[in-house]
């Protein structure tokens, strides 16, 4: 197990592609501490910014302790192992992650799990915008894996999602599931507008209040209960909407009936 502590409070963005179980597992400690990182526009060595403690080589776990809210790309492209972060962490956490697990006991910046291809990210705090979403100009959204967030999330969560599971136990911002192709997004609490805009497939489940349903969705039915995943079912009635019809989409939007009386007028179309 490797434990990493920031040596000071960071004022500039820090980019650390090397804080990755794959690299720590395959490298020698001397090589790792001399890995190149960026502080702002200056290149430095990892040991100049972090204290690194090693305890056994067999356990492919990295623990990061302290405020690393300025540190980006922790766990990017990792394929195995575990990263545990006890504190806030910056953008691009687990970007293009293929396997393994990341656990954060704190808040996370934007683009967490961007273009994720496998593994699991569990966040016991809040997350910024673009959770699981690709960069601007790309349509390579989350392809596999699971992201679980116990706090709130910003805008465009699950944009361009192709597969996998995104579970949010807090509230989310606008454009959740934007241009979604497949997979499942579950929001336990409230959700801002424009949910599922331009979606072509997949399933979005809203367990709280939804500001409005886009006019390019049509109501299909009222379902007595909804399955989130194996072993997790919400046993209450949901409105089921189909769309986005502007994209000839066949995605499903489930909205909890008891939390959304403003949608009752749709029942006359059933």
User: 140-153: per-residue pLDDT in tens?
Assistant: 999 999 999 999 99
Least confident window among 56-60, 133-137, 143-147, 213-217:
56-60
Distances (CA, A) of 66 to 4, 49, 141, 202, 254: 9, 12, 30, 38, 39
The region, left, alpha or beta by phi > 0 then psi within -120 to 50, assigned to residue 215 is: alpha
What is the per-residue pLDDT across 33-91, written as a single tens digit (0 to 9) for each? Answer: 889 999 999 999 999 999 998 876 567 899 999 999 999 999 999 999 999 999 999 99
- Beta-carbon-side half-sphere exposure of residue 63 (alpha carbons within 13 Å): 9
Name the pairing type of β-strands 184-187 and 2-6.
Answer: unpaired
Query: Rg for the chain (alpha carbons), in Å?
Result: 20
Q: 133: buried, middle or exposed (CB in 10 Å: 19+, 13-18, 0-12)?
A: buried
The SS3 assignment for 85 reads: strand
What predicted TM-score, i.e. pTM, was given to this entire model?
Answer: 0.95
Q: What is the dihedral of CA 266, 246, 130, 144, to 10 degrees?
A: 100
Q: In this model, does residue 222 exceed pLDDT 70?
A: yes
Q: What pLDDT, on the 0 to 100 scale, is given for residue 25?
A: 74
pLDDT range class, residue 100, cuts 50, 70, 90: very high
pLDDT of residue 211: 84
Strand-pair partners of 65: 86
Q: What percent of the chain has pLDDT over 90?
A: 89
Instruction: Evaluate if residue 116 carries a pLDDT over 90.
Output: yes
Average pLDDT, the chain: 94
Counting Cα atoms < 13 Å in the Cβ hemisphere of 242 gives 10
So what's the pLDDT on residue 37?
95
Beta bridge partners of 147: 121, 166
Proportion of the chain above pLDDT 70, given as a percent: 97
**In the chain, what's the furthest Cα-to-Cα distance?**
70
């Amino acid at each position: 197990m490797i434990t990493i502590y920031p040596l000071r409070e960071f004022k500039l963005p820090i980019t650390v592609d090397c804080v990755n179980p794959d690299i720590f597992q395959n490298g020698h400690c001397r090589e790792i501490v001399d890995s190149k990182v960026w502080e702002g526009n200056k290149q430095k060595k990892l040991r100049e910014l972090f204290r690194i403690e090693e305890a056994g080589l067999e356990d492919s776990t990295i623990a990061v302790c302290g405020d690393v809210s300025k540190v980006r790309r922790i766990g990017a492209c990792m394929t195995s192992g575990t990263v545990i972060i006890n504190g806030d962490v910056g953008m691009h956490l687990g970007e293009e992650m293929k396997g393994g697990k990341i656990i954060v006991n704190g808040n996370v910046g934007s683009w967490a799990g961007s273009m994720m291809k496998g593994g699991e990210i569990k966040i016991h705090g809040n997350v910024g915008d673009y959770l699981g979403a690709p960069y601007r100009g790309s349509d390579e959204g989350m392809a596999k894996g699971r992201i679980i967030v116990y706090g709130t999330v910003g805008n465009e969560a699950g944009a361009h999602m192709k597969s996998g599971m995104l579970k949010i136990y807090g509230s989310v911002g606008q454009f959740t599931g934007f241009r979604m192709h497949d997979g499942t997004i579950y929001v336990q609490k409230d959700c801002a507008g424009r949910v599922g805009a331009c979606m072509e497939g997949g399933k979005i489940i809203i367990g709280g209040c939804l500001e409005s349903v886009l006019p390019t969705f049509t109501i299909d039915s009222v379902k007595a209960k909804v399955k989130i995943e194996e072993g997790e079912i919400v046993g209450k009635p949901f409105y089921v909407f189909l769309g986005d019809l502007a994209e000839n989409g066949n995605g499903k939007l489930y909205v909890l009936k008891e939390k959304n009386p403003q949608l009752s007028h749709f029942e006359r179309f059933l």
